[in-house]
Amino acid sequence: MIGAIPGKIMLTKSVKPSVLVIVLVVFLGGCVHEPIEGRLTPEQSAARAEKSARIHTELAAEYYYRGQYKVALEEIDAALESKQNYAPALSVLGLVYMALGEDSKAQSNFNQALKIEPGNSELNNNYGWFLCERFSDQMDKAISHFMTALKDPLYETRHIAYANAGICELKRNNFSVASRYFDESLSLQPNYRPALVGLIEMDFKAGKIVAAQSKLSEFMQKYQPTARSLWLGVQIERVVGNTRAANSYLFQLQKNFPNSSETRAVRESGL
């Protein structure tokens, strides 16, 4: 259901905030015309439960994106009440627990979901991102899950999995492999910000500071900043000794992305 991305872990088509109420109205209104509970066939009951679980999961995903984790958990509970062991709901639950720093619970829910739907592309992408973010010794396993997701010809957000794979390879300084994955991502979605930022970060890590600074400045002029781009800006400007610019990036990061892993990194580093 959801696709993870750095600082925002990425999902399939999610419900936009402006249509959350509309979705619920349509869903509840549609139920009026269905047979009463006692007269439903087993197939109708199953379809109804599936529909309810899907909608509650989509809502949970949207609340997760917005950092409203308590409400997201409530929606996941509703999804699992409609359909026990609904893999997409368990996948979102894993992401929420990951965001809350409860990694053992995240791991448990991802594992449970994978037992139910081992070939689910979004699930494999999400779990791969979890491994990439939390376990530096499991990068090969993370990449394997991204590749499993990419094998699915119907997977609609392949650019996310490619970018995530690139970020993981960048973490272990495999620049040529990371570059290939970022390029694949951008060939599918030319303005995909995590891939663009990944290429800038690659220059920074390779010691090409001036190039990274120039590209990041251009990025900031064209696109809305991401948590990762702001954190990268802090690091670049500190290296070149531009304290004012570094502090500006830092302020934006803490203000706009208070729950991001990048902001946590700032707190832990004491900057």
* Mean pLDDT within 114-142: 96
Look over the chain and give the mean of its residue pLDDT values, rounded to a whole number. 87
In a domain, 175, yes or no: no
pLDDT at 154 over 80: yes
Answer yes or no: is pLDDT of 252 > 80: yes
Q: Are residues 64 and 117 in the same domain?
A: yes
pLDDT score for 271: 62
- Pair 179, 165: CB distance under 8 Å: no
Question: Looking at the predicted structure, is the pLDDT value of residue 161 above 70?
Answer: yes
Statement to judge: residues 118 and 35 lie in one domain: yes
Residues 151 and 44 in one domain: yes
Quick one: angle between helices 261-269 and 243-256, nearest 10?
Answer: 130
pLDDT of residue 261: 82
Q: So what's the pLDDT on residue 255?
A: 93
> What is the tally of structural domains in the chain?
2
Residue 82, pLDDT > 80, answer yes
Amino acid in position 108? S
Phi-psi region of 15 (alpha: psi -120 to 50; beta: other; left: phi over 0): beta
The answer to whether residue 172 is domain-embedded is no
First-to-last C-alpha distance (Å) of the chain: 36
| Structural domain ending residue among the three candidates 130, 156, 182 | 156
Same domain, 15 and 149: yes
66 within domain boundaries: yes
pLDDT, tens only, 94-124? 999 999 999 999 999 999 999 999 999 999 9
pLDDT for the residue 39: 83
Model confidence at 25: pLDDT above 80: no
- Residue 129 or 37, more confident: 129
Greatest Cα-to-Cα distance within the chain, rounded to the nearest angstrom = 72
Give the pLDDT confidence of 61-81 residue by residue, as tens digits.
Answer: 999 988 899 999 999 999 999
Q: Phi and psi at residue 42, in whole multiples of 5°?
A: -55, -40
pLDDT in tens, 198-239: 999 999 999 999 999 999 999 999 999 999 999 999 999 999
CA 164 from centroid of its chain's CA atoms: 9
* Domain harbouring 47, CATH code: 1.25.40.10
Asked, for residue 161, whether it belongs to a domain, the answer is: no
Distance of alpha carbon 181 from alpha carbon 179, whole angstroms: 5
Q: How confident is the model at residue 270 (pLDDT cuts 50, 70, 90)?
A: low
Give the CA distances from residue 36 to residues 31, 44, 45, 81, 233, in Å, rounded to whole numbers and listed in that order.
Answer: 9, 11, 10, 19, 58
Asked which of 132, 156, 180 is the last residue of a domain, the reply is 156
Same domain? For 20 and 80 the reply is: yes
What is the arithmetic mean of pLDDT over 11-19? 39
Residue 28 domain flag: yes
Summarize the confidence of residues 133-137 as an average pLDDT.
93
If asked whether residues 114 and 219 sit together in one domain, one would say no
The more confidently predicted of residues 123 and 42 is 123
Residue 4 falls within a domain, yes or no?
yes
- Contact between 223 and 212 (Cβ < 8 Å): no
Range of the domain at 220: 191-271
Distance of alpha carbon 198 from alpha carbon 166, whole angstroms: 7
| CA 17 to chain CA mean position, Å | 17
pLDDT at 15 over 60: no
- Read off the pTM: 0.82
Half-sphere exposure of 89 (CA within 13 A, CB side): 25
CA distance 58 to 50: 12
What's the pLDDT at 171? Answer: 95
Is the residue at 167 inside a domain? no
Are the CB atoms for 56 and 76 separated by under 8 Å? yes
Give the pLDDT mean for 44-48.
Answer: 86
Q: What is the pLDDT of residue 95?
A: 96
223 within some domain: yes
Rounded to an integer, what distance in angstroms lies between the CA atom of residue 104 and that of residue 8? 20
Q: Does 71 share its domain with 131? A: yes
Which amino acid would we find at residue 15?
A: V
**Within this chain, do residues 31 and 148 fall inside the same structural domain, yes or no?**
yes
Q: What pLDDT does 112 receive?
A: 97
Distance of CA 141 to the CA centre of its chain: 18
